[in-house]
Amino acid sequence: MKRFFFLIVLLTFMTTTASAVQTGKPVVQRIEPPCWWVGMETQLQLMIHGPGLGEGTVTVLTPGIAIAAVHKADSPNYLFLDINIPAGVPAGDYTFQWSNGKKKLNFVYTLHERTENSSKRFGLSSSDVLYLLMPDRFVNGDLENDSTPCTAEKADPKDDYGRQGGDLEGIRMSLDYLEELGITSVWPTPVTLDDEPAVSYHGYACADYYKIDPRFGTNETYRELVKEAASRGISFLQDIVPNHCGTAHWWMKDLPFKDWIHVFGTYTRSNYAMSTHMDPHAAAIDNELCTQGWFDTSMPDMNLENPFVLQYFIQATVWWMEYAGLAGVRIDTYPYSNEKAISAYTAALRKEYPNATVLAECWFNFPHQVAYWERGPWPSGPTVMDFPLMGEISRAFIEDTNPGWGQGMVRLYNMIANDFVYKNPNELLVFGENHDTNRMYETLGRNPEKLKMAYTFLATTRGIPQIYYGTEVLLAARDSKKLGHGEERAPMLARVLTAEGRDPLEENVFSYISRLLTWRKTSQTVQYGRLLHFLPDYGENMYVYFRILDNECVMVLINNGNEPVAVDWQKYAEGLGKASKGTEVMSGREITVGQSIQVPAQTAIFFTFAGI
């Protein structure tokens, strides 16, 4: 992901334009947010940009709304306007006038009606299954936009780190596929413009927070995609990056304020020491370097402690939520920002959309560090991702032969045993892989049976399961001996969207995961039931647990050993209660408590029981 630029270029980008008085005709080059809505909780602050606009002032000509304050920036080319929108003000076009002596300029700003019950939208719950995809590496539905005249990097499908051509049309084409798979929500990595000259496919170096990357589509096609998906019961989360932008962002040539981004005398990278937030012994300088250092050479660090920057990102996030009809947002590199600022950001989103999802990437290896952000010293923490469990999943399933003490399936038991530190373990996002890790199919030795066991665990343990695009059809790097971000973020081929296009092994795994996730959508017990688990017997390497709700239970048995294991019904009596008969979910066969059953090696089976 690294792109290296000469320091002199970076310093040039970080310098605001000269403050010479503009003598030509004034023009508004940008207004952000580009539009707004009546009836919003979020205070509207317009950022207007154009040559010399900061040297004038603005009044509103249309009655109904008012300018509460006009703020000048360090650059002479910006003004920030605090807008009061009283309750009951009608939607419509409002005319503003900028003036500087005899120079005058009128511009129009539009306020829209909100969709009914917009503020009451619901995000993810433990009944959902989230599908993570990288738009450029997903299906290419429109070959015409693979390269565009207005973007720096062109498509190069032969380059593992180049643009491959996936787009929004490819996602739209895949909605039948996702519905068949059992998906209820989609999280694409950033869809906004990343205009870096190389390795721009991932989208995390944003060049325009209000514009869909034209190699994916348009703002309108994105909104229509979200709407069509919603008609099928599939919601969308948008990936937002308030911690950093890209060096190709338009404002880098003319920063509004000198401290709009964190600026150092020489290039200074973050130390990535996120533990300094909760470490009672941490030196202040280490925390400052974590939160102020640049994430990468092409990713300038945003200064969220500047109130104008913070308000900018609150508004940009709310704008996409409202414009596109999203169920929530996923926040990249959450703990790399100032703690108070990112907490205020989250609280503002919660105020506007109390039931929507704010999913935060808090990548720590230990549960108590993740729980710090879920609980936090603030009233409104985000939904967090269970990275500690992710780290143990592949290790647990690889260790199948004579696992040592604390190895094999005990790893899963031990990690789940830490749930006492979380406010609500059922709201954790659980996953075995994502776009920043090795693919689980690779880490499990390209063993489809182990992959099935791992996904059975993800679908039946507590939390909200997330699967990574292509795993369900055994997507892998071109060369198993050459693994890395670009190699493993492989392109998804359109042929796999239908059963006829999948080869027998791909269809076998897809069918299994599809049946698993489709069943999960029907089982409130596995979605909301309390979890009861049993310590795996040393040497057996089988993990057994229950999900229990009212008088029903789901019993899960995952045998990661190399020998079949007989079910000891007496040992699991606590979970079974008074149940006498049950059904094996995947085969439909009826079983009786006490009958002789063996769980085959390298296999997961699960039963439902009523009358417990």
Catalytic residues: 332, 361
CB 359 within 8 A of CB 124: yes
DSSP assignment of 516-565: HHHHHTT-HHHHHPEEEEEPPPTTT-EEEEEEEETTEEEEEEEE-SSS-E
Joined together, the tokens standing for residue 483 give 């693994």
Both structure tokens of 396: 């647990």
Closest to 549 in 3D by CA, of 585, 523, 516, 514? 523
Instruction: Name the nearest CA neighbour of 587 among 578, 576, 575, 600.
Output: 600
* Distance (Å, whole) CA 495 – CA 566: 41
**DSSP-based three-state secondary structure for 456:** helix
CA angle 10/13/16 to nearest 5° reads 140
Token pair 């599939």 is found at 234
The set of long-range contacts for 196-199, using a CB threshold of 8 Å and a minimum separation of 24, is 196/3, 196/152, 196/153, 196/246, 196/247, 196/248, 196/298, 197/3, 197/152, 197/153, 197/248, 198/3, 198/153, 198/161, 198/162, 199/1, 199/2, 199/3, 199/153, 199/161, 199/162, 199/486
How far apart are the C-alpha atoms of 127 and 525, rounded to whole Å? 10
For residues 181 and 306, give the distance between their C-alpha atoms in angstroms, rounded to a whole number. 44
Q: Are 213 and 168 in contact (CB under 8 A)?
A: no
Can you say how many angstroms the Cα of residue 81 is from the centroid of all Cα atoms in its chain? 31
Cβ count within 10 A of residue 368:
14
Q: What per-residue string of b and e applies to 131-167 under the rule 16 or more CB within 10 Å gives b?
A: bbbbbbbbbbbbeebbeeeebebebbeeebbbbbbbb
Q: Which amino acid is at 466?
A: Q
- Report the alpha-carbon distance of residue 117 to residue 119 in Å, rounded: 5
Under 8 Å between Cβ of 373 and 331: no
Judge whether 433 and 439 are in contact, CB under 8 Å.
yes
* Interatomic CA distance for residues 193 and 201, integer angstroms: 10
Q: Which residues pair with 307 in a beta bridge?
A: none
- CB neighbour list of residue 260: distance below 8 Å, 6 or more residues apart: 251, 302, 303, 306, 308, 309
d(CA 32, CA 44): 10
Cβ atoms 95, 77 nearer than 8 A: no
